[in-house]
Structure 1
Amino acid sequence: MGNNRFNGKAIYNPSGKAGEYSDWACNFYTGCSNNCDYCYCKKGVMSHVWSDTPKLKKCFRDEEEAISIFEKELLANLGELQKHGLFFSFTTDPMLPQTIDLTVRAIKICVHHSVNVKILTKRADFAEKFFRPLCSKSALNENLMHIAYTRHVAFGFTLTGHDELESNASSNSDRIEAMKILHEGGYKTFASIEPIVDLKGSLSMINSTVGFCDLYKVGLLSGKKYNWRELRGFMLACTSLESKFYFKDSFISQADLGRTNLPQSCVGRDYDMFNT
């Protein structure tokens, strides 16, 4: 993003490892009730504002002010957001019962302004009822609205294969079923295979979703050292499948590889899943 980084109250340009995931992101809340053992937000710079219950960021008086500020910041950066899209969220799960209403309102604004949206969640309980009920009672209007949403919204699910580490999240199997439902409904879908707790479990998650997952983003468990030969073997097993993969920098580094000689199914961080 260069030196002209935007750092609004709702919308901003992430940096560091988050910047590798998305050029633009939105955070309305901090904290999360999924209570994952490995969550990076529980440590470091986020730990002082973290809780097991999502809380509206202190810079917002209430949800009405949050959505108002969101719309102003979106319009102020509309050209860049239409080019790069917007990611929800790095500091909470945007589809929790406590966060989903504001997420839905923000996504509706994005779709109206032709901004592509990527939602990353560990929830499955919204999938069957989420977007079509937002449409009007008119069958024609409902169909047009559904087309607009499927054109601009992608759903991602974190899949580790380890429910015991994600005590309050939906099960991995339920997330996989939700992904399938949404993909069959016309939405783009992606999987965050991060963190890799163990290579066998992560490969099982990938094999279980081939055919209804448009992109896999693969990353390591922070602070864990992996065997480079095993990482390369894992990559070869993944890239033999019919799908697209983005391996994060940490994976590439520990596998002692360079991006210039990766298999053809590997894509860069700027890969646009909406235009494929």
Structure 2
Amino acid sequence: MIRKRRDDFCEAVVRKDVINKFEQDAISLAKAEEKRSILLSFTTDPYQQLDIKEQLTRKAIEILHFNGLKVSILTKGGKRSERDFDLLAAKPELSEYGVTLVFTDEKLRSKIEPNATPTSERINSLKKAHELGIYTFVSLEPVWFAEQSLELIDLTHDFVDLYKVGKLNYNKQQKNVDWEVFRKEVIKKLRSYNKNYYIKKDLELY
């Protein structure tokens, strides 16, 4: 990934024989009695447009569950991801569903995340997953604007089991946030709602 141009990285294609290779890896992990969750996917998105046709994510979930392996999904795909809620709800002990939430301002969201679904759509998907008994989490990362991240907690705390919070890096906007103040405020808010949370190391330092 780090050796690709951005334009090339954004033009996703299906790797040759990827599902068969994935299944062999799953079998090996099952034999090794792997207990950690398999992450789909924390460097790209398992519900990008390509997957509407290919349904590779659905096949991957089926393979992982068949082999008794846990799956943790993180997406900005909104309604597209709801397609597989039946699989996740059927094996709640092996499933986690999370969404990345960054902006409450939709104009900013569309500018910074042009290929992602609207924030409101992702929130609705979270709520549906929770109602189906699926463990839910939110990745509040990267935090662009402290007040918007705090507002997102207010909007979602009733149907989110866990929050993961991390700061913005490698962008000039990070200098506009008082990270020490934000860290204290976000922890205070999450505790007030009695929510489980995880503060990423880059934010813990403040």
Q: Does TM, normalized by the shorter one, top 0.5?
A: yes
How many residue pairs get aligned? The number is: 193
The runs of at least 4 consecutive aligned structure 1 residues that moved more than 6 Å come to: none
Using a 3 Å threshold, how does the CA distance of structure 1 residues 169 and 81 change in structure 2: closer, same or farther? farther
Alpha-carbon deviation of 1:48?
3.3
Q: Is 1:155 paired with 2:97?
A: yes
Note the residue ranges of structure 2 that are not aligned, 5 or more in a row.
none
**1:69 to 1:197, Cα distance in 2 relative to 1, 3 A:** same
Residue matched to 1:89: 41
**1:133-192 CA-partner distances (Å, limit 9, x unpaired):** x7xxxxxxxxxx9532x2212111000014232122111111001100011011111100
Contact 2:30 2:68 in 1 (8 A): no
Asked whether the equivalents of residues 89 and 134 of structure 2 are also in contact (C-alpha less than 8 Å), the reply is no
> Which protein is richer in helix relative to its size?
2
2: CA distance between counterparts of 1:198 and 1:178?
Answer: 23
CA contact (8 A) 2:95 2:134 kept: yes
Letter in 1 for 2:169: S
Q: Which runs of 5+ in 1 are unaligned?
A: 1-29, 31-44, 135-144, 256-276
Matched-pair contact (CA < 8 Å) for 1:183–1:189: yes
Alpha-carbon distance in 2 for matches of 1:218, 1:91: 16
- Measured in 2, the distance between the counterparts of 1:94 and 1:54 equals 11
Structure 2 SS opposite 1:125: helix
Q: Residue by residue, what CA displacement relative to the aligned partner does 1:231-261 show, whole Å, maximum 9, x if unpaired? A: 32332222222211000000001x2xxxxxx
d(CA) in 1 for partners of 2:156, 2:64: 28
For normalisation by structure 2, the TM-score amounts to 0.84
Deviations 1:11-31 (A, max 9, x none): xxxxxxxxxxxxxxxxxxx6x
| Contact 2:166/2:200 (<8 A) preserved | yes
Contact persistence 1:124–1:175 (CA under 8 A): yes
For the aligned residue pairs, the C-alpha RMSD in angstroms reads 2.2
Question: 2:66 is aligned with what amino acid?
Answer: H
Determine what percentage of the aligned residue pairs are the same residue: 30
For residues 51 and 83 of structure 2, the distance between their equivalents in structure 1, rounded to whole angstroms, comes to 16
1:48 maps to 5
The amino acid that maps onto 1:197 is W
Query: Which residue identity is paired with 2:153?
Result: I
Q: What SS does the aligned partner of 2:115 have?
A: coil
Alignment-derived partner of residue 164 in structure 2: 217
Q: Which position in structure 2 is the counterpart of 1:177?
A: 124
Q: 1:117 to 1:128 in 2, by over 3 A?
A: closer
Tell me the secondary structure at the aligned position of residue 167 of structure 1: coil
**Where does residue 145 of structure 2 map in the other structure?**
198
Aligned-partner SS, 1:211: helix
For each residue in 1:47-106, what CA deviation from the matched residue of structure 2 results, as whole angstroms up to 9, or x when unmatched?
A: 4374332223xxx42xxx111111111222225563111001133210123135111101
Q: Distance in 1 between matches of 2:11 and 2:93?
A: 32
Give, in whole Å, the separation in 2 of the partners of 1:168 and 1:112: 32
Helix, strand or coil for the counterpart of 1:238? Answer: helix
Query: Per the alignment, do residues 233 and 125 of structure 1 end up closer, same or farther by CA in structure 2, a change over 3 Å counting?
Result: closer
User: How far apart are the structure 2 equivalents of 1:122 and 1:69?
Assistant: 26
Structure 2 contact 141–168 (Cα < 8 Å) conserved: yes
The one-letter amino acid paired with 1:118 is: S
153 and 129 in structure 1: CA distance in 2 versus 1, 3 angstrom threshold: same
TM-score by length of 1: 0.64
Amino acid at match of 2:57: T
Give the match's secondary structure for 1:168: coil
Counterpart code for 2:59: R
Could you tell me which of 95, 99, 115 is aligned with 1:168?
A: 115
The letter for the 1-side match of 2:195 is: S
